[in-house]
Amino acid sequence: MKAASIFRWMLVSEWRAHTLQLVVALIAIAIGVAMAFTIHLINSAAFNEFSAASRSLSGQSDLQVRGRKTFLDEALYPVLAEHPSIALANPILELEVSVPGKQQDRNDYKLKIIGIDPFRAVQISPDWLGLPEEGETLDRIASDTIFLSPAAMEWLQVEQGDALQLQAGLQTIILRVAGGLVRARAGQRIAVMDIGAAQWRFEQLGRLSRIELKLKEGINHAAFKAKLTEELGESYWVMEAADQEARIANMSRAYRINLNMLALVALFTGTFLVFSTQALSVIRRRQQFALLRVLGFTRQQLLQQIITEGGFLGVMGSVLGLGLGYAVAMTVIQFLGGDLGANFFPGVKPSIFLDPWDVVIFFAIGLSVTLLGSIAPALEAVRAKPALALRSGAEDTAMAKLSPPWFAVICLLLALLFTQLPPVFELPVFGYLAIALLLVGGIALMPRFAAWVFSFLLIRLRHVRIGAVFTLVLARLANAPNQAAIALGGILASFSLMVAMAIMVTSFRVSIDNWLGYVLPADLYVRAAASGDQGGFQPDAQNAIIAMPGFDRVDFFRTQQLTLDINRPDITLFARPVDKMDPRNTLPLTDDMIAPGSLPENVIPVWVSEAMVDLYGYRVGESVVLPIGAVSVEFLVAGVWRDYGRQFGAIQMQLTDYQRLTGDLSVNNVALWLRAGTSLDTVIANLRQLSFGAALEISRSSDMRALSLEIFDRSFAVTYLLELVAVVIGLLGVAASFSAQILARAKEFGMLRHIGVMRRQILIMLAAEGGLLTAFGVVLGFIFGWSISLILVFIVNPQSFHWTMQLHMPWSWLLAIAVIMLISATLTALFFGHKAVSVQVIRAVREDW
């Protein structure tokens, strides 16, 4: 009981005397836990809701059959319906159609329409049966009716009985809202109509998206799946609900994990602030601990005391962070949705579910990193010999034990090794470990860096008249580097991580801007409203556009989706005119390509994005088989191009080759180059006067670039927020470290006052110390941040998202943050220095008498 009372008295007294340091440490821990917990809650809620919505679209089927292309031939349906092992086959047609007048941004103007056979759906997916008016049951199979989910009705601002106008290709389709889908999930914007009516209205006759299967009793699912896969051949995929779950998870896995890792950056930085707080607290109370040892305290009791202090910090900070994280997640979901700007989870309205295990895990993470920051100071305190610790002036020597050079060297060597290792499950695990080890190793070397630099300055300026005050400043920094390193640790951690993220985001944004200038060279881009996978411009419409005056060049594009791996999202196929002699004139190729003019004869070339190389192993010069046309055809990989728009893979080929293989002469998009002196407004007006002009979506290349960059900024809004958090934590760290050190040096200031140094001179000395230390930390932070940015740009991003970029430096932003940190450190030193020198001289040095 006496020991417990002493523990409690020491804890309360320490926190009461140094409330500011306690508050700063709590804020650092809470912010780190809150950011990580917020992002986890939002991502989990959005992913779970999106998965549940996708499962609901599949009904109660056992298996699904899909084609390698977006659509499959409906001739397969009667074959499966008559299969002896299949109890029920349910045909489905899914389309995404345009809604005129809606904002055309991130597919928010698309409405998903599901074509069903109501007589089959009632047995396998009854949730998708529309609820018509009483006595109007036949509306479910009428050719002009559609049923909308509550979210779709609210979005489209229509009610039962209203007319709904939709755009498919170059035609306008008007349907009657016959009722609602009362069992649709909250926020799910979908519509259902009869499958025959959907095929006819949207020009998809003979096409299905998938066929859902219900097997007969006693049929082994796994065995039948393997058998049916063999029977159908390579043109079809047979999948289960788990396969669809894997596809959905793979869509957003890299994005979600990278956001969580970036969120842990704040928590990681908070660890160093806890270490700083605990280390300075131990140094300040070094003589107190030694006296307790003399009076009978055991090493175990002392270690328990210091670890308990860190544990209480961790518990309070983690609890505060969990509450803050939950509140922020609820706010973000309510006002911004669950996609965090990346549009991975469109059309869902998730709700936050607080899983107790998630709470326990993030609480444990916050507590663990706090205890981690307390261990080193605690071990030093209990190992110190009481006789030596009772003497003044041994504080810096004590801290020397906390930074063994071999530990730092091992961390840096491991970081270098990890940068050379491949991804694990397509995730940059070793890249993130390299970043952590680089920071730990750099911070562990801070005392030696500080001693070398400030000793060098002291020697070089010895014969220069810099005055007694500045001589004292350099002498202290050179001869007490370990205490200086504690303040430098927080600055280095926060500033280097902020620099790294700023460089990475800027590099990505500038690379995308340059890439957009390459892939959007035309003046105007025209497309017809998407309708499934069918091109909107038939040959007669193409000829009408070509015949218009004012164009110097007209290029047509054909795009469609292909499924190459059932566990991965679809890839995009582009068919377009490509300069075969030198594809670099058309495509943003990397250096990995067949030399211009060296393509072999009698081959069909394709150019693949960087993601195709990583995900599917496509290599330049190799032959690949793709499901294009009636049968799969062999192509030659002629080059690799950068594609920042599709992280799951894309392929480009000659439009003429595509049309020859498929017989499909329709196109999706048109690129228009204007003749010199031709007005854009005049050309747009002429396009609108075409017979199908009202159905055209016309975009200026400058507007498309601006919109793309706006989407980029929205997608990286969380990263910008994390940069701001890193800056705030860094400033808090500066304040905490300097205030604790200055208050701990009250005896030193008292002695200086005894020998004639004035208060004003001491304040100047403290301001100079703070400025020099912060400037040194900023320089080192920039060096380490630049090194971390290299890992992010050239390792983490390629391994996560499968694209490369060029390095670009945001000098103005970095300079502004450096100046802010320098000014804040100087002002902090002055503020707390004023408190320290306000103590009476005799009182300040009384313990040394």
Q: What is the pLDDT of residues 359-380, one digit of tens each?
A: 998 898 888 877 876 777 777 7
Spatial separation of the C-alpha atoms in residues 193 and 188, rounded to whole Å: 16
Closest CA to 358 of 326, 389, 381: 326
- 732 vs 651, residue with greater confidence: 651
Distances (CA, A) of 425 to 7, 47, 221, 253, 798: 48, 19, 28, 11, 14
Instruction: State whether 319 and 297 are in the same domain.
Output: yes
Domain end, chosen from 211, 239, 267, is at 239
State the alpha helices, DSSP H only, in 202-285: 221-232, 241-284
Domain end, chosen from 711, 729, 755, is at 711
Q: Are 353 and 40 in contact (CB under 8 A)?
A: no
State the alpha helices, DSSP H only, in 663-716: 680-688, 701-715
Q: Domain for residue 419, yes or no?
A: no
Instruction: State whether 89 and 199 are in the same domain.
Output: yes
Pull the structure tokens for residue 231.
Answer: 């029977």
Instruction: State whether 176 and 267 are in the same domain.
Output: no
Instruction: State whether 33 and 93 are in the same domain.
Output: no
Closest CA to 824 of 781, 773, 788, 783: 773
Look up the domain containing 587 and give its range: 517-711
Instruction: State whether 103 and 36 are in the same domain.
Output: no
Q: Domain for residue 461, yes or no?
A: no
Instruction: State whether 93 and 10 are in the same domain.
Output: no
Q: Are 637 and 622 in contact (CB under 8 A)?
A: yes
Instruction: State whether 145 and 227 are in the same domain.
Output: yes
Residue 71, pLDDT > 60, answer: yes
Q: Length of the chain, please?
A: 849
State the alpha helices, DSSP H only, in 337-420: 356-383, 386-389, 395-399, 405-418
Q: Domain for residue 13, yes or no?
A: yes
Q: What percent of the chain has pLDDT over 90?
A: 24
Spatial separation of the C-alpha atoms in residues 110 and 665, rounded to whole Å: 25
Instruction: State whether 280 and 213 are in the same domain.
Output: no
Pull the structure tokens for residue 102.
Answer: 């809606």
Least confident of 65-79, 102-116, 572-586: 102-116
State the alpha helices, DSSP H only, in 570-668: 610-616, 655-662
535 pLDDT band, cuts 50/70/90, is: low
Instruction: State whether 595 and 690 are in the same domain.
Output: yes
Q: Domain for residue 244, yes or no?
A: no
3-state secondary structure of 806: coil
**∠ CA(141), CA(145), CA(148), 5° rounding?**
110
Whole-number pLDDT of residue 122? 86
Query: What are the φ/ψ torsions at residue 548 (nearest 5 degrees)?
Result: -70, 145
Residue 716, pLDDT > 80, answer: no
Spatial separation of the C-alpha atoms in residues 643 and 251, rounded to whole Å: 16
Model pLDDT for residues 103-128, shown as the tens digit of each residue: 544 445 688 899 999 998 888 888 88
Which of 18-32, 488-502, 770-784 has the highest mean predicted lDDT (pLDDT)?
Answer: 770-784
State the alpha helices, DSSP H only, in 384-480: 386-389, 395-399, 405-418, 429-444, 446-460, 467-479
Instruction: State whether 177 and 281 are in the same domain.
Output: no
Instruction: State whether 71 and 208 are in the same domain.
Output: yes
Report, as an integer, the average pLDDT of 61-80: 89
Q: Domain for residue 292, yes or no?
A: yes
Q: Domain for residue 52, yes or no?
A: yes
Q: Domain for residue 377, yes or no?
A: yes
**Tally of domains within the chain:** 3
Residue 295, pLDDT > 70, answer: yes
**Buried b vs exposed e over 741-757: b needs ≥16 C-beta within 10 Å?**
bbbbbbbbbbbbbeeeb
Closest CA to 89 of 115, 70, 117: 117
- Rg (C-alpha) for the chain, rounded Å, is 33
pTM of this prediction? 0.81
Count of alpha carbons within 13 Å of 495, Cβ hemisphere only? 32
Domain end, chosen from 687, 711, 735, is at 711
Instruction: State whether 306 and 355 are in the same domain.
Output: yes
Least confident of 156-165, 310-319, 388-397: 388-397
Residue 849, pLDDT > 50, answer: no
Q: Are 476 and 776 in contact (CB under 8 A)?
A: no
Q: Domain for residue 466, yes or no?
A: no
**612: how many CB neighbours lie within 10 A of its CB?**
25
Residue 843, pLDDT > 60, answer: no
